Structure 1
C-alpha cells in the first residue's frame, strides 16, 4: 500500500483504539445508520453504477451501497486499516456479495483506475487526510467526468453531544490534554463548511455543495450501555490514553457521561441529536 499518512495507518491499523472499533462494530453501525442513510439517499445510487467507498471500515457502507447498485454494479471499498478490511471481507462473504471488492489503500495517493467510477461515497472516512486538496483531486481521478462525490463528516462540536459530553466528562476528571489544530486530521476536521468547500474548489471539483444537517443518532441499549460506548471510543478514550488513565478513571468518566445522557433519554433509550456536514461535488466534465 502506498501511503503518506503513516500516523493514521498506525492508529487505525495497529493501535488498541483501532481494535476497539472492531469490538464495538455492531453498536457503531447502529448508531451511525442515520448518517449512512443520508449519504446513500443523497448519492442517488442506482442499478449498474460503479462506486468507490472511501474509509469503508468494516464494510457496512460498502455492502449497503452494493445492494443499491445490484449485481450489474460494483463497489470498491478502500481503507487504511488491514484489520478492518479483514472483517469487511468476512461480512461480504457471509452475505455472498459478489459485487464488492476491498482494497488496502491510502485514498490520498492510491493510483485508482482512472475514470472508472460513477460515484464516490464516504460515511466519516474523509476527515483524516494530511493533504485534503491532494486527496480530493486523487479521488476525482477515479471518477468518470461528471461523477459525484458524497461525503458525510461531523459538524461543529457544539452540535454533537456524541463528542461533547464524553470530552467534558473526561477532561473534568483528568484535565485538558494539549490543544490541537481543529482543522488537523481527525473526526472534527471538516466542521467548517466554507473551509472544506474551498478545499474542494482548489482540487478542481465543480458543482460543490456543503450543508449542515440535523439528524438523530440511535445508540443501542440503555443509558449505561451508551455511556460505556461513549467512554471507550472517541474523545474520552483519547483523554484516557493521553493521561494513562486507570480503569477507575474510566468508570468515573462513564458515570459522568451517563448522568449527562439523562437529558436525552426517551424511556430506556437514548436519542442523541447530531449535526452532520454533508458535502457533494462533481469531477469536472
Structure 2
C-alpha cells in the first residue's frame, strides 16, 4: 500500500492542477526547458549512472536523463497520477526502455538503499510538507558520494510574477510570489536551501542563481489564457465575479503585449541551481 503524508499536494496534483499540467505538457516544457541543460550539466550524469528524478511530473527531465545514460537507468517519482500517465505515454512513444516512473510521496517513498548515482529535480522539490525529512529520504536513496542537482524557483526577477502583480488591484493576490511560505517559493531563499539540505545530511552545498527565457504562448491573448487556466490563475478567478475576471484577463493581455516577439510571448524566470553530495 502506498504511503502518502503530503496529502494537500497529493490532492492538488491529482485534481485540476495535475490534469492541467498533463494536458499541457508541451506548453509547460516550453516554459521551463531553458533550464534543462543547466540542470543536467550540473548533475554530471554519466553513461552508466542510475538517475532519480524527484517531482518528475510528465517526465521531460527523466527522459532527457535516460538518453544520457544509455547503459544506465532513469527513475521518475511523482505524486500526480495524471502526469505520470502522460510521462509513461511519452516514454513509450520515444521508445525509451531504460526509464520507469513510480507514484509516490518523495518524503516517505521507499528510496533508502537503492544506490542511485545522482538525484535531479526541475522545480519538483519545493512542495514538501517536511522538506528536511524529504531530502533526508532522497539522500538515503543515493549511494555514498552520490550527487544531487535541483532547480528551485527564485522570487526576484520572474517576469510572469511581475505580470500577475499588475493585477493586484483586480484579483486577491495576497502574498502570492512571497518567499519562505509553503509551495512554489518555499526554497526561494538560498539561506533556507542551505539550512534544509544541511539538516538532511548533504554536504558540498552550492547555490547558484540562474535564469532562462520561457515561451508562454503564441501571443498575449494565448499566454493570458494559459496563465489564467493554470492552477493559480484558476484559483484567483474563482474568488471574483465574471466581470472582474474579464477585466483581469484584459489587463493581463495588455501587460503581456510588450513581451511578444518572433511569434511568441517570452518571459524570464529566475531560479537557484542547487548542487550537493551525500557524504
TM-score range (shorter-chain normalised) is: over 0.9
Report the Cα distance in structure 1 between the residues aligned to 2:72 and 2:199, rounded to whole angstroms.
31
Structure with the bigger percentage of helix: 1
- Structure 2 residue aligned with 1:94: 93
Report the Cα distance in structure 2 between the residues aligned to 1:55 and 1:31, rounded to whole angstroms.
17
Matches within 5 A, 1:118-267: 118-156=117-155, 158-169=156-167, 171-177=168-174, 182-233=179-230, 235-241=232-238, 243=239, 245-246=240-241, 248-267=243-262
- TM-score (normalised: structure 1): 0.91
Report the Cα distance in structure 1 between the residues aligned to 2:257 and 2:41, rounded to whole angstroms.
31
Q: Match of 1:236, SS?
A: helix
Matches within 5 A, 1:31-110: 31-70=31-70, 72-110=71-109
Task: Give the direction of change, closer, same or farther, for the CA distance of 1:231–1:212 in structure 2 (3 Å limit).
Answer: same
- Are 2:53 and 2:75, in contact at CA under 8 Å, matched by a contact in 1? yes
Could you tell me which runs of 5 or more consecutive residues in structure 1 were left unpaired when the two chains were aligned.
none
Q: Match of 1:122, SS?
A: strand
Task: Give the direction of change, closer, same or farther, for the CA distance of 1:124–1:271 in structure 2 (3 Å limit).
Answer: same
Aligned length: 278
How big is the shift at 1:267? 4.4
Say which is worse superposed, 199-208 or 23-32, in terms of deviation: 23-32
- TM-score (normalised: structure 2): 0.92
Q: RMSD across aligned C-alpha pairs, in angstroms?
A: 2.0
Report the Cα distance in structure 2 between the residues aligned to 1:176 and 1:94, rounded to whole angstroms.
40
Report the Cα distance in structure 1 between the residues aligned to 2:3 and 2:271, rounded to whole angstroms.
30
Say which is worse superposed, 126-135 or 17-26, in terms of deviation: 17-26
Could you tell me which runs of 5 or more consecutive residues in structure 2 were left unpaired when the two chains were aligned.
none
How big is the shift at 1:27? 0.8
How big is the shift at 1:20? 1.6
- Are 2:219 and 2:257, in contact at CA under 8 Å, matched by a contact in 1? no
Q: Match of 2:216, SS?
A: coil
